[in-house]
Structure 1
Amino acid sequence: MITTGNNLEQVQRDLLKMGSLVEETMKMAIQALREQDAELARNVIERDDAVDNLQIVIEEEIERAVSAAPPLGFDLKRDFAMIKIVNDLERIGDYATNIAEVVLELKQQHYLKPLVHIPQLAAVSMNMVSTVLKAFVEKDIDLAEAVCKKDEEADNLYDEICDELVRLTGQDMNPQQAYQISRFLLIAEWLERAADHATNIGEETIYILTGKRVKY
């Protein structure tokens, strides 16, 4: 059964592996963005298959275990939560790929301003991802709640980025510069959504451990 023994341990190991891969890929994407490194951006895009494959592996592990011995109660909630978690991680991996694609679009352009808050938002979001997976595996309610509360910091950074970019649009700029701002706004939105997905994982963790639905 998925909730005992080696099966559960393997799924949890693969979840952490997927989380680490997503976090590393996002860091690479942000580095590529800051340095306008097209080769690194292409490496990020190539990694998307590895993230997708891990999602398939984990879902198949859960499906096989459930088919062999259908779980009940707490075990069933945990199995459903794991499926939701891998979906959240896969979406974050997609955002990293999206950012890498923007890097390729903007590789010949001079940035309007140095990137400061976007890397900060990425760091907050990825810290939330790694911490919330630790909370899930270790069944740590307090840690899961702390991650959920950190979403406010991500939201504030997102708002700051949007305000900053919108102010730039009030200045004289050419179409290329306007397009660049639109891409940075999208990147900020993707990073904010990544933080939302980490919050989702935290809320699922709290639910399976307490039986109570919470919303941050």
Structure 2
Amino acid sequence: MRTKFDEQLNQLNQELMHMGTMIEEQIQKAVVAFMKQDTELARIIMDNDTDVDREEKKIENICFNLLMQQQPVARDLRTISAAMKMVTDMERIGDHAADISEMTILIADNTYVKQLDHIQKMASETVQMLMKSIQAYVDKDMEAAKAIIKNDDVIDELFLEVKKDLIAMIHANADCGEQATDLLMVAKYFERIGDHATNIAEWVIFALDDKNREG
């Protein structure tokens, strides 16, 4: 029975990695679509969000089967609980990729009124955080997870820079107000992605702490 349980636990890890790859690609494509104002790509990203949702349900079913199959030990419970929390954050990151794509379509008819350096930097940092948080789970690397959590401050600071720039832009030209608001919303989505990547890293630590104590 334990052998079957371990096989399903391994399947859970593989599916989490697969979902992580899916949402990494969604975010990276959303960044490209946003920067290039590529509405066709943006629509593809929005359509693909249903694939992420299906993967979330698949992982949840594996978790429930693991919990029902036999009485898991404390370490197993923490691993499964962490996986269920992680997949929720992953699904929300996928939603934000779709949200960014929707905003891309909304403002595609107007040339951006300012350079998007800070937003692009935010996008790059959040993708890196996401990739590293999933890799920390795969590698069972607590130190890497802790470093990711610290990096969230970088995202927050970049968001404040974007906000400051856009407010200054509105003051200089009130006609830019609508687009500035839209760009701020996109920056906010990237900030939220950083928050969810941080959550994933925190759940990695949650699972690994238990393993260390029971070691």
Band of TM-score, shorter chain: over 0.9
Corresponding residue SS for 1:70:
coil
Is 2:118–2:162's contact at 8 Å kept on the other side of the alignment?
Answer: yes
Corresponding residue SS for 1:12:
helix
Q: Which structure 2 residues correspond to residues 64-213 of structure 1 after superposition, within 5 A?
A: 64-174=65-175, 177-211=176-210
Is 1:135–1:144's contact at 8 Å kept on the other side of the alignment?
Answer: yes
**Structure whose residues are more often helix by fraction:** 2
Give the alignment's TM-score, normalised by structure 2.
0.92
Corresponding residue SS for 2:172:
coil
**Structure 2: distance between partners of 1:3 and 1:110:** 56
Residue type of the alignment partner of 1:203: E
Relative distance call for 1:38 and 1:2 in structure 2 (3 A) is farther
- What whole-Å deviation, never above 9, does each CA across 1:58-105 have from its counterpart, x for those lacking one? 000111121111313111011111000000001111111001001111
Corresponding residue SS for 2:188:
helix
Aligned residues: CA RMSD: 1.5
Residue type of the alignment partner of 1:130: M
Q: Within the alignment, does 1:48 sit opposite 2:49 as a pair?
A: yes
Residue type of the alignment partner of 1:50: D
Aligned to 1:214: none
**Structure 1: distance between partners of 2:41 and 2:109:** 15
Q: Unaligned 5+ residue runs, structure 2?
A: 211-215
**Structure 1: distance between partners of 2:113 and 2:38:** 17
Give 1:143 deviation, angstroms: 0.7
Aligned to 2:19: 18
Relative distance call for 1:111 and 1:208 in structure 2 (3 A) is same
Give the alignment's TM-score, normalised by structure 1.
0.92
**Structure 2: distance between partners of 1:198 and 1:33:** 20
Relative distance call for 1:82 and 1:113 in structure 2 (3 A) is same
Is 1:2–1:62's contact at 8 Å kept on the other side of the alignment?
Answer: no
Relative distance call for 1:32 and 1:132 in structure 2 (3 A) is same
Corresponding residue SS for 1:108:
coil
Residue type of the alignment partner of 1:70: Q
Give 1:4 deviation, angstroms: 5.0
Greater mean alpha carbon deviation, residues 164-173 or residues 3-12:
3-12
**Structure 2: distance between partners of 1:63 and 1:178:** 48
Q: How many residue pairs align between the two structures?
A: 209
- What whole-Å deviation, never above 9, does each CA across 1:160-180 have from its counterpart, x for those lacking one? 111111111101232xx3111
Give 1:109 deviation, angstroms: 0.7
Percent sequence identity over matched residues? 33
**Structure 1: distance between partners of 2:204 and 2:7:** 21
Aligned to 2:35: 34
Is 2:5–2:69's contact at 8 Å kept on the other side of the alignment?
Answer: no
Is 1:2–1:75's contact at 8 Å kept on the other side of the alignment?
Answer: no
Corresponding residue SS for 2:202:
helix
